[in-house]
Chains A and B, each alone.
Chain A
């Protein structure tokens, strides 16, 4: 599991310092900070960023909104973002609200409010709302990562790293090369959200990453995976073998 990369755009250094302090205390990885629109845009395209925290007002003008508007226009580039603001001025808000999805954080804020705002932004961005707030689920799935709530903060797991998933009632055991962990998500949801050309169901309780399959042994109902992992292949899902070019 990796820490989330946060990019802070804030013109007041003392405030960005406070932010960095709180975020790092909660295991977030602050990739960079920027104080103006130009630097922010440059850094944004250079860095690997998972979420942006940006002040609406940069040096007296609502450049924060302009930034959000800019990254929103480029497909597959946009990331979840949280607006920081110290005023609830309606006109500004009406404009900021157009940069859907819209999440904001009122200054002054405390630690809980900040973490909550980040979670809300991720949920809204990947349109999987009510995940981190409920007791039933704790994972938001994007194309690239699983965002998992661990205690108070979020973690991410690269989806291509997943070797297989074992479903156990309402939990899912995720196996990667390095670790094994448990997430809370329903089977239907995970099947819907994962790319089904890569992830295949081989059993009532198994979902396997095809890229990590090393060998399929139909006679033993067994699939061998990288890192000495094994998954079960049930009769019902044996048809998946036809999808691979088999060595004979």
Chain B
């Protein structure tokens, strides 16, 4: 009787072990299926939560949420799944009866219906309802191999469990049949753990029938296999079995040895369990630490982010400051450059002005001096009553005075122009009358020099210009034309309309002409002519400068065409339309 009691104990040991080893392998695949289903029903919040707790192996929570899911939702396929989850959880919590109830609620349309039947078999076995278990197992075994595979069911373990059921019912023949069959499978698969279980179970089967000769080698086989494995449970069970066997054989010495070994494994097992617990605690601690670390990292990240933002803004700010700095610096450099060039220009202008003053005063002095000497000779001749020569001298005097006057006139106009003090009013002008009025003053001079003069500007030519400044320009141009003409030369004033918006007024002579260099000098700004060639003819250049400035102020253009020895064309282009539209 003692033996039998011990044996029962042993059997249950093997059974549990076998069942779990089978479960572990399929659980991952199952989890995956469940996850997929959960993904399919995103809107079902409770189901989703239940599944997530299920995977985390938090059975109580799984039960709570699955209950909620069952109450709130009416989705049929999910119901089966939910019952499955609940059944599994109850079983894990060792509420076998509740578990069985849940599994029974699952309809046969459920994807893992066969699996459910298998589990029900397992449950029946666990609750020692062997006959019930046998019907479940047989039902499942009758299925085809593919059906079994698709439900993640191992036929070998079912066969083994069937054998176990028969063993419990003392139907040794049936038991032997199934156990040997599962042993054959397992030997093929070479799964050490399962083999140990099977050898053990078979050994017990024979032992129960008092076929010790057959049983003992199986026990030993199991023991040897377990010795080589590192599974403590197996080693404990096999050594325990061996101890029982030796005890029955009355070989107490060996039995004691086995018993000791068993005790050792038991301790180890306990230790291992402790270690597991410690490890679990450690793990939890580690998880907590990790969580802390994560929190710290999170905070650090936030800190870093704010720091980065601050840095970014600071960088942008700095960049802006730098940009504006560079901008203002470049502006300053530009301004400096401008000032420098302006200074250069001013210096040049100032030099020009100084030069101009010296030339003008020199000119005036020589004019007055010439007048002085001429006047004294005039007086002399008057005293000696040399009348015929007087007219000649007077004409000479008047020429000198005219020259000096026009120089002074230019000087005055130039000063007015520079200081913007003069009256300036652009108006509609008929060119013919202006040219007539200006040339009228030169009639005596032209006659004296025996120059032919022609004004062919038409009355139709209308320009927009300031009358007085235009007169000054014309006076200077005529002055020059007369000055650089040989006796018996000819001077023409005429107009052309080659451009759409400009009327060209041309003063042409066939006098001395000028070199290209002189021409360019006359057209360039702030250049005064030095008195080199033609000592008594070439003037200051003030007149030409005045012309250029005046024409520019009248929105006109100025050009010179000339050839040495052939003559000069002075071309003044004036706008035909009012600058104000």
Contact = CB atoms under 8 A, between A and B. Distances in A.
A199 B492 CA distance: 48
Contacts of B416: 88
A92 B416 CA distance: 14
A126 interface: no
B436 interface: yes
Contacts of B459: 133-135
A214 interface: no
B468 A88 contact: yes
A110 B433 contact: no
Contact of A90 (B421, B437, B440): B421
B468 A106 contact: yes
A111 B430 CA distance: 18
Contacts of B440: 110-113
A93 B423 CA distance: 6
A10 to B, nearest CB: 20
B422 interface: yes
A133 B423 contact: no
A89 interface: yes
Interface in A96-130: 97, 106, 110-113, 116
The range of chain B's interface size is 10 to 19
A84 B430 CA distance: 21
A64 to B, nearest CB: 15
A110 B421 contact: no
Contacts of A111: 440
Contact of B433 (A89, A93, A106, A133): A133
A134 to B, nearest CB: 7
Contacts of B423: 88-90, 92-94
A144 B79 CA distance: 122
B421 A116 contact: no
Nearest to A114: B437
Given A90-B421, A133-B430, A112 B468 contact: no
Q: Is the interface of B mostly helix, strand, loop or mixed?
A: mixed
Interface in B413-468: 416, 420-425, 430, 433, 436-437, 440-441, 459, 468
Contacts of A134: 459
B422 to A, nearest CB: 4
Nearest to A94: B423
Which of A88, A90, A92, A133 has the largest number of chain B CB atoms within 10 A?
A88
B422 A112 contact: no
A111 B459 CA distance: 19
Interface in B97-127: none
B441 A90 contact: no
Given A88-B468, A133-B430, A135-B459, A110 B437 contact: yes
A111 B420 CA distance: 29
Contacts of B422: 88-90
Interface in A217-241: none
Contact of A112 (B420, B424, B430, B437): B437
A224 to B, nearest CB: 42
Most central of A92, A93, A94, A112 by chain B CB within 10 Å: A112
A21 B408 CA distance: 27
Most buried by B among A93, A110, A111: A110
A54 to B, nearest CB: 17
Interface in B465-492: 468, 471
B468 A110 contact: no
Given A88-B422, A90-B421, A93-B423, A110 B441 contact: yes
Contacts of A113: 437, 440
Contacts of B421: 88-90
A112 B430 CA distance: 14
> Which 5 pairs, one residue from A and one from B, show the smallest C-beta to C-beta distance?
A93-B423, A88-B423, A88-B422, A112-B437, A112-B440
22 contacts: A88-B416, A88-B422, A88-B423, A88-B468, A89-B421, A89-B422, A90-B420, A90-B422, A90-B424, A94-B423, A97-B425, A106-B468, A110-B441, A111-B440, A112-B433, A112-B437, A113-B437, A116-B433, A116-B437, A133-B433, A134-B459, A135-B459
Interface of A: 88-90, 92-94, 97, 106, 110-113, 116, 133-135
Given A88-B423, A90-B422, 17 more contacts: A88-B421, A88-B468, A90-B420, A90-B423, A90-B424, A92-B423, A93-B423, A106-B468, A106-B471, A110-B440, A110-B441, A112-B433, A112-B436, A112-B437, A113-B437, A113-B440, A133-B433
